Amino acid sequence: MTVNPNPKNLFSAVVAKAGLKQEVYTKTLNAFDNFKTEVIFLVQKFHESVKPGKWNIPFEFKDQGPFEFELKFGGDILIFFMHTNVFEFSRNHAVMKTSYIRDDKSRSYCGIIHIFNFLADSFKYSRTNDIGYLIGRIFINRENHYFVEGKREIGHLYNDFATAILNNDATHTIVQSSILYTLNFDLLTPPYDNMKEVTVEEMKTTLDSIQIRTGKRLGFRFQADKFEEK
């Protein structure tokens, strides 16, 4: 690496890179707030539209601060989490080979919003050994273009980075797709061999806090749920 003897050039490089990252961070934070607004809206519409019935079906928003919130519905929780740092794609990533990035490399710097799925009972009963799943992550750049890496239709519908703008319609669709995917991502019975031995300590605890892991695909290779699935 050659060191430039002119400090003004050095300072200009610092300002340019820091400014780019701050711009990406701001766009990502605005997008995260829009996701939060969309979820609050859906919660309100649910309670306006669904009349009380035989079962008490939760559909609830919980704010966890500026970078995290939860949507609880039925027996599931979706956690939306924004990373506070800005990332660049590796040179081997598919988006780096597109003309959109080749024309302006600064477009490859993105903020990330993660969407995790957990069982609601895992939090209710403090089952800290239970497993959650990353069902999607949303990448946003300084131009507010986005794409989604995710499970099934979540990743398939939103992968045109060059043209996709993260507007209100896109936010609405991503949230609904995440909910629908979660509803169809069912809890499977763990293999018998994983359950046949239990310690005395585990049996002395209540069933609500028993230290046997619960997860929707526990005992099965997570890779079996590939992004290419329909």
3-state SS class at 26: helix
Q: Measure the CA–CA gap between 92 and 132, rounded to whole angstroms.
A: 28
Q: Is the pTM of this model over 0.95?
A: no
Higher per-residue confidence, 218 vs 168: 168
Q: Does residue 127 belong to any structural domain of this protein?
A: yes
Q: Does residue 121 belong to any structural domain of this protein?
A: yes
Q: Does residue 7 belong to any structural domain of this protein?
A: no
Indicate the number of domains in the chain: 1
Q: For 91-114, give one letter per residue: b (16+ CB within 10 A) or e.
A: eeeebeeeebbeeeebbbbbbbbb
3-state SS class at 46: helix
Signed CA dihedral, 171, 175, 178, 184: sign only: negative
Q: How confident is the model at residue 71 (pLDDT cuts 50, 70, 90)?
A: very high
Q: Measure the CA–CA gap between 118 and 72, rounded to whole angstroms.
A: 9
Query: Using the 8-state DSSP alphabet, how is residue 222 labeled?
Result: G
Per-residue pLDDT at 146: 95
In three state form, how does the secondary structure of 133-160 look?
Answer: EEEEEEEECCCCEEEEEECCHHHHCCCC
Q: Does residue 95 belong to any structural domain of this protein?
A: yes
Higher per-residue confidence, 211 vs 175: 175
Q: Does residue 210 belong to any structural domain of this protein?
A: yes
Per-residue pLDDT at 208: 46
Per-residue pLDDT at 187: 62
What is the residue type of 102?
Answer: R
Higher per-residue confidence, 61 vs 126: 61
Name the residue among 59, 85, 69 with its Cα closest to residue 34. Answer: 69
pLDDT exceeds cutoff 60 at 5: yes
Higher per-residue confidence, 218 vs 153: 153
Q: Does residue 126 belong to any structural domain of this protein?
A: yes
Contact 220, 136 (CB under 8 A): no
Per-residue pLDDT at 227: 35
Q: How confident is the model at residue 215 (pLDDT cuts 50, 70, 90)?
A: low
Q: Does residue 20 belong to any structural domain of this protein?
A: yes
pLDDT exceeds cutoff 60 at 220: no
| CA max distance for the chain | 75
pLDDT exceeds cutoff 70 at 224: no
Q: How confident is the model at residue 221 (pLDDT cuts 50, 70, 90)?
A: very low
Burial class (CB in 10 A: 0-12, 13-18, 19+), 87: middle
Q: How confident is the model at residue 165 (pLDDT cuts 50, 70, 90)?
A: very high
Bridge partners of residue 110, in order along the sequence: 87
Q: Within 10 A of 79 (CB to CB), how many other CB atoms are there?
A: 19
Q: Does residue 5 belong to any structural domain of this protein?
A: no
Domain that holds residue 20: 12-224
